[in-house]
Amino acid sequence: MALCWYLLSFLFHSLYAHNDFFTSIGQMTDLLYTEKDLVTSLKEYIIQEENKLEKVKEWAGKLDSLTITATQDPEGYLGHPVNAFKLMKRLNSEWADLESLVLKDTTNGQASLPCFLSFLGFISNLTLQRQFFPTDEDQTGAAKALLRLQDTYQLSAYTISNGDLPGVVHKSQMTVADCFELGKIAYSEADYYHTELWMAQALTQLDEGEESTIDKVTVMDYLSYAIYQQGELERALELTKRMLKLDPNHQRANGNLKYFEFQLEKQRKAESEKKEQEDKKKEKKVLDKRDAQRKRSKDPLPERKKYEMLCRGEGIKLTPRRQSRLFCRYFDNNRNPRLLLAPVKQEDEWDRPRIVRYHDIISDSEIMTVKELAKPRLRRATISNPTTGVLETAPYRISKSAWLSGYEHSTIEKINQRIEDITGLEMDTAEELQVANYGVGGQYEPHFDFGRKDEPDAFKELGTGNRIATWLFYMSDVSAGGATVFTDVGAAVWPKKGTAVFWYNLFASGEGDYSTRHAACPVLVGNKWVSNKWIHERGQEFRRPCDISENE
């Protein structure tokens, strides 16, 4: 655009290089051709401006309809992990691209004053709002959350890209650029498994005709390398040949072609040389393999795999005999005065360890108050480093939390009193009410709430002993995922708004109950709010007397 204005200025200045045109019709005819050139340049300038404006209008129109839908139900909209990822990506990357487009070849003040003021207003607002934009860390975190959900809930890249998740209200599909971004983030982490999945999905969508600024050669470049890194030379070679059909001069592809062919020939030769030796050892290997399979079948299921199975609802089913011991009842905790007229609804969720759920135990208005008090204070949840004791963030705990005291609001005081009435335990030595809100794919991987023997100073600074019990409120329903699972015993407790679950972390002897190891599963769809109360040993001497029988 600036070049166009430069040429126009040059032509105008050229006109003033001559004078007395009116004295000769012959020279005046030259002015007609000069004006024709000016009109041609002006039309080219208009076309460039219209093309740029069309792109800006298309972007604005798309986001206008999107933001109208999103702001009608913000939490529900962002409850879809794809929507959350795309929001991080737009604000961190795509708005910067739009700004570059708007700033490209500006008229250097030669536009009309109202137009120029509007332009300045937009740029000023964008600059002001940018301080609140997500960062690269947020975009990467949201991408990793999608990969975590993909693994935990065994979802295909196609399913996620198409937005076909359970319980979805605001369905959202991923573009080629979105899939490519996920693949690139996996690639940067040397995660070639997920790189392959998402680059393959991006390529599929391109093959199906989706228009994108990302071309097939770029996608195949990442894809072939990811496949090679996983040891599949033949597939990597075939993909490289396909790349070269599209771009015969691609330097890296030409180099890879020769390298892959050499490595493949070398591999085949090595396999041929070993074939005779392998045939001789074949019988022995079969026997060894059978022995290994027998041994593996006796090994306990790895915790990670068990955790993910429980998150998917593939939990251990109680035997009919154990199931028959679980009941629902109205509970007044031995005729507690505050529960006599309104006993609470208690349901046995599990027998060993005993996990009970209380229904309709916190009202919607109380939940709203707790959330309003917590929101301004929410900070990234931390864990205590078992070596240093220092609080620090961890990739296996994805949530934000805040602490609320009974002294600051009557609702918190009432909630604390209610927990004391139901459990019969002293609240003065308990920790403050912790409120947590889980982010995209939010989770807390398997952990213990109590301090183990190898952590003697876990709660030393509190001076209230170990965590004897845990009380957990569910303050929202979750469309999919988000269960509390106990990996050692195979129990799963699903979120239900207005309920709470309770269990003891310590036996009556004071020893830790290792069967209470638990986790918060990743939230697949929805928005999970919880609050919990960690109750400590001090003050419980007469409320829960010690017992030398460790395992009761």
pLDDT at residue number 392 = 75
Q: What is the DSSP letter of 93?
A: I
Residue range 463-479: average pLDDT? 97
Q: What is the DSSP letter of 350?
A: E
Closest of 503, 507, 500 to residue 544, by C-alpha: 507
Lowest mean pLDDT among 36-45, 71-80, 512-521: 36-45
Examine the pLDDT at 380 and tell me if it is beyond 80. yes
User: What confidence category does residue 271 fall into, taking pLDDT thresholds of 50, 70 and 90?
Assistant: confident
d(CA 511, CA 495): 29
pLDDT at residue number 434 = 97
Q: Which long-range contacts (CB under 8 A, 24 or more apart) does 454-459 make?
A: 454/386, 455/386, 457/389, 458/384, 458/389, 459/536
Residue range 193-220: average pLDDT? 96
Residue type, 260: F
Residue type, 519: A
d(CA 242, CA 216): 10
User: What confidence category does residue 32 fall into, taking pLDDT thresholds of 50, 70 and 90?
Assistant: confident
Inter-residue contact 420 to 427 (CB < 8 Å): yes
Structure-block tokens of residue 45: 């300038």
d(CA 81, CA 526): 8
Structure-block tokens of residue 220: 């195949």
Q: How far apart are the first and last CA of the chain?
A: 81
d(CA 383, CA 447): 10
Inter-residue contact 238 to 253 (CB < 8 Å): no
Examine the pLDDT at 442 and tell me if it is beyond 50. yes
d(CA 508, CA 520): 26
Examine the pLDDT at 111 and tell me if it is beyond 80. no
SS3 519: strand
pLDDT at residue number 527 = 94
Closest of 527, 476, 467, 523 to residue 500, by C-alpha: 476
Structure-block tokens of residue 101: 């487009």
The total of other beta-carbon atoms located within 10 Å of residue 32's CB is 8
Inter-residue contact 333 to 418 (CB < 8 Å): no
Inter-residue contact 550 to 483 (CB < 8 Å): no
Q: What is the DSSP letter of 341?
A: S
Residue range 192-207: average pLDDT? 97
d(CA 135, CA 126): 15
User: What confidence category does residue 105 fall into, taking pLDDT thresholds of 50, 70 and 90?
Assistant: low
Task: Provide the greatest CA pair distance for the chain.
Answer: 121
Residue range 518-524: average pLDDT? 96
Cis ω before 300 (30° cut-off from 0)? no
The total of other beta-carbon atoms located within 10 Å of residue 377's CB is 12
Question: Concatenated DSSP letters for 16-72?
Answer: TT---GGG-HHHHHHHHHHHHHHHHHHHHHHHHHHHHHHHHHHHHHHHHHHHHHHHH
CA 52 to chain centroid, in Å, comes to 34
List the beta bridge partners of residue 492: 485
- With 0-12 / 13-18 / 19 or more C-beta atoms within 10 angstroms meaning exposed / middle / buried, residue 521 is buried
Inter-residue contact 437 to 458 (CB < 8 Å): no
List the beta bridge partners of residue 519: 485
Q: Which residue has the tokens 């209380």?
A: 358
**Per-residue pLDDT tens over the stretch 303-341:** 999 999 999 999 888 999 999 999 999 999 999 999 999
d(CA 56, CA 65): 15
Q: What is the DSSP letter of 546?
A: -
Inter-residue contact 430 to 413 (CB < 8 Å): no
E strands, 171-242, are none
The total of other beta-carbon atoms located within 10 Å of residue 140's CB is 16
**Per-residue pLDDT tens over the stretch 115-140:** 666 667 777 777 778 788 889 999 99
Examine the pLDDT at 273 and tell me if it is beyond 80. no
Examine the pLDDT at 3 and tell me if it is beyond 70. no
